[in-house]
């Protein structure tokens, strides 16, 4: 078996007994399934409560000025608009899941004193880094995709009677979930691994990730998320920028992820 | 001459020694003496600031991964993944050591049975006692059949029965021709196991075979001389030889501090006989390792 995949297998076995990481893995994906279903069912009703509300008016303005929604009925356009905005949650999902797992995975090696026995084997620094990266990233991506696919099926099933057409996935949803989300997940894992290397216990790593890395990505999505739901050019630019950020973080990690550094400076 | 500094402070300095293949080298020293740093240097886990070393034919710094594949390490604290079983832990590390699939499980079973852990192989390591973890860590250090084995406190935390089992296993490994480096505070253990003893405290204070150290070869040691009658003044004066450091005693029994006793005792006896001293017996006072160690690390040297 590939050494890097070995870490993934080991981490999956440990995951079910990990009290720091498991709750997050159990909580977030069901929310990612339920939210689109709830929004798909209630969006037109929510919009009808107060027609003069400034937010409702703003949404109506977007819907009427976006050519894509022009040929649709109001309810369908509103529902599609709400669903498209939920892509932001799917971008955050791998960030939340994988960065907490990544932060924990390095610091746990230190705490369990397994770092030195691992580093004393013929494993290369690169194999170790990629192993840790995959171990945190793969489960979170699989869960994100599984939640997204399940949401698509349920949303289409529950709304078919009303609109006679599948609402999901649209191209923004597909690119967001299947391309942007993994890239953001990778970037957050690399950031978490780099930062968690400075931590000495899982609690600090968890708190640091929860208070710094996840909120940083949330703010990013909050600022740019709106643009990502209406412009494919913005989505393409976001992909390129995030890829560059990911490559930069990978380079930083590779540069610093050396036996000597880990053993003598990571206290 | 290996040296390594941390923030300008020497952890180990001018380290130089040779361990013949198949020998057991015991590295003794107080806490913070540089034993762990020495092992890390020799495994290529940290780079030396000066010097280099050859381990099992591999030059340090050039092919460190290949070097690590022929070395085994037992760390001072046996670290394992507590949330997975002993078997899963060993399988994980056996992959990292690239143990061939064809022999992996068979070899693990053999070692687990030897260590009386076979029945507990599916238990979570988190439920293991310190002694059981230590035995598991020893299996991890040897299951890839390394040429050189570094054991940091191998019997720490073990009960007497398990300690005996580990010592017997170390002796067996030595019998198989493996070179073993044992870092320990346990002088009794060192005395039982070692072929060569090194005493370190930042620098290597002493390095010799256990037999030489105990007999005092190459060092100053005490001998007891039993005579037919007490020494007269001119006879005592005749003992003022360059290699005689002190003479103490009364009546007919004297304790003499002699440098390089194995080569100088015959000369001393010759001088005494020439001065008509009746020499009944000359007995080297064997020194135990504890005395040598304490003398060394207290900074007094070993009679040098």
pLDDT in tens, A13-63: 888 877 777 888 889 999 999 999 999 988 888 777 777 888 888 888 888
SS3 content of chain A, % helix, strand, coil (to 5): 85, 0, 15
Percent of chain B with pLDDT over 70: 95
Chains A–B, number of C-beta pairs less than 8 Å apart = 75
Q: Which pLDDT does position B3 carry in this prediction? A: 93
Q: Does B73 touch chain A (CB under 8 A)?
A: yes
Q: Are B60 and B67 in contact (CB under 8 A)?
A: yes
Task: Tell me the nearest-neighbour CA distance from B18 into chain A, angstroms.
Answer: 22
**DSSP E strand boundaries for A3-126:** none
Nearest Cα residue in chain B from A14: B83
> Is A112 close to B84, i.e. CB distance below 8 A?
no
Whether the ipTM is more than 0.85: the answer is no
Q: How far apart are CA B209 and CA B198, in angstroms?
A: 9
Spacing of C-alpha A114 from chain mean position: 28
The residue among B8, B41, B45 with the most chain A CBs within 10 A of its CB, best to mutate, is B45
pLDDT of A203: 67
The answer to whether the Cβ–Cβ distance between B45 and A112 falls below 8 Å is: no
Q: How many residues does chain A have?
A: 267
Orientation angle between helical segments A87-111 and A74-85, nearest 10 degrees: 20
In the predicted model, residues of chain B with pLDDT beneath 50 are 301-304
pTM above 0.90, yes or no: no
pLDDT value of position B216: 60
Encode pLDDT of A66-103 as tens digits: 888 888 888 898 899 888 888 888 888 898 888 778 87
Q: Within its chain, how far is the Cα of B255 from the centroid?
A: 30
Contact state of A119 with B75 under an 8 Å Cβ cutoff: no
Do B79 and A112 make contact, defined as CB atoms within 8 angstroms? yes
Check CB contact under 8 Å for B71 and A120.
Answer: yes
Query: What is the four-CA torsion angle of B46, B47, B49, B50, rounded to 10 degrees?
Result: 120
Task: Measure Cα distances from B160 to A252, B116, B157, B170 in Å.
Answer: 49, 15, 10, 15
Q: DSSP letters of A113-180?
A: T-HHHHHTSS--HHHHHHHHHHHHHHHHHHHHHHHHHHHHHHHHHHHHHHHSS-----HHHHHIIIII
């Amino acid at each position: 078996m590939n050494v890097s995949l070995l870490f993934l297998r080991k981490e999956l076995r440990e995951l079910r007994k990990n009290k720091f990481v498991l709750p997050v893995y159990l909580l977030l994906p069901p929310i990612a399934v339920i939210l689109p279903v709830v929004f798909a069912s209630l969006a037109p009703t929510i919009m009808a409560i107060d027609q003069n509300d400034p937010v409702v008016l703003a949404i109506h303005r977007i819907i009427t000025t976006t050519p894509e929604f022009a040929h649709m009925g109001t309810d369908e356009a509103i529902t599609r608009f709400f669903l498209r905005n939920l892509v932001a949650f799917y971008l955050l999902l791998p960030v939340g899941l994988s960065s907490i797992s990544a932060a924990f995975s390095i610091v746990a090696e230190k705490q369990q004193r397994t770092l030195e026995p691992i580093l004393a084997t013929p494993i290369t620094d690169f194999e170790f880094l990629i192993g840790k990266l995959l171990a945190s990233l793969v489960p979170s991506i699989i869960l994100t995709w599984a939640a997204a696919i399940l949401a698509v099926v349920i949303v289409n099933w529950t709304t078919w009677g009303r609109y006679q057409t599948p609402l999901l996935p649209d191209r923004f949803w597909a690119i967001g979930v299947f391309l942007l989300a993994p890239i953001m997940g990778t970037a957050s894992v690399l950031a978490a691994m780099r930062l968690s290397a400075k931590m000495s216990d899982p609690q600090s790593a968890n708190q640091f990730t929860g208070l710094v890395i996840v909120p940083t990505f949330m703010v990013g999505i909050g600022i740019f998320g709106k643009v990502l739901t209406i412009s494919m050019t913005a989505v393409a630019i976001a992909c390129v920028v995030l890829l560059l950020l990911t490559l930069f973080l990978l380079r930083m990690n590779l540069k610093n992820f050396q036996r000597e550094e880990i053993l003598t400076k990571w206290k | 001459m290996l040296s390594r500094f941390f923030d300008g402070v020497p952890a180990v300095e001018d380290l130089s020694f040779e361990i013949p293949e198949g020998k057991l080298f015991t590295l003794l020293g107080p806490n913070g003496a540089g034993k762990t740093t020495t092992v890390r240097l020799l495994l290529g886990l940290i780079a030396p600031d000066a010097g280099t070393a050859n381990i099992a034919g591999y030059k340090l710094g050039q092919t460190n991964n290949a070097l690590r594949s022929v070395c085994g390490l037992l760390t001072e604290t046996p670290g394992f993944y507590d949330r997975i079983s002993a078997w899963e832990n060993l399988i994980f590390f056996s992959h990292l050591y690239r143990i061939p699939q064809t022999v992996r499980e068979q070899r693990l079973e053999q070692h687990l049975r030897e260590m009386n852990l076979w029945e507990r192989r599916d238990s979570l390591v988190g439920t293991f006692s310190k002694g059981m973890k230590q035995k598991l860590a020893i299996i991890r250090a040897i299951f890839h059949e390394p040429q050189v084995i570094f054991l940091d406190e191998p019997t720490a935390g073990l009960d007497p029965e398990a300690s005996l089992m580990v010592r017997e296993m170390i002796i067996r490994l030595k019998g198989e021709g493996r070179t073993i480096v044992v870092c320990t505070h346990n002088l009794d253990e060192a005395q039982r196991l070692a072929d060569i003893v090194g005493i370190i405290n930042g620098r290597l204070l002493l390095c010799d075979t256990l037999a030489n150290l105990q007999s005092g070869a190459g060092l100053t040691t005490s001998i007891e001389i039993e005579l037919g009658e007490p020494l007269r003044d001119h006879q005592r004066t005749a003992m003022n030889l360059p290699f005689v450091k002190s003479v103490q005693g009364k009546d007919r029994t004297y304790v003499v501090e002699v440098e390089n006793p194995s080569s100088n005792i015959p000369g001393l006896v010759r001088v005494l006989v020439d001065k008509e001293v009746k020499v009944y017996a000359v007995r080297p006072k064997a020194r135990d390792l504890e005395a040598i160690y304490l003398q060394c690390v207290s900074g007094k040297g070993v009679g040098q």
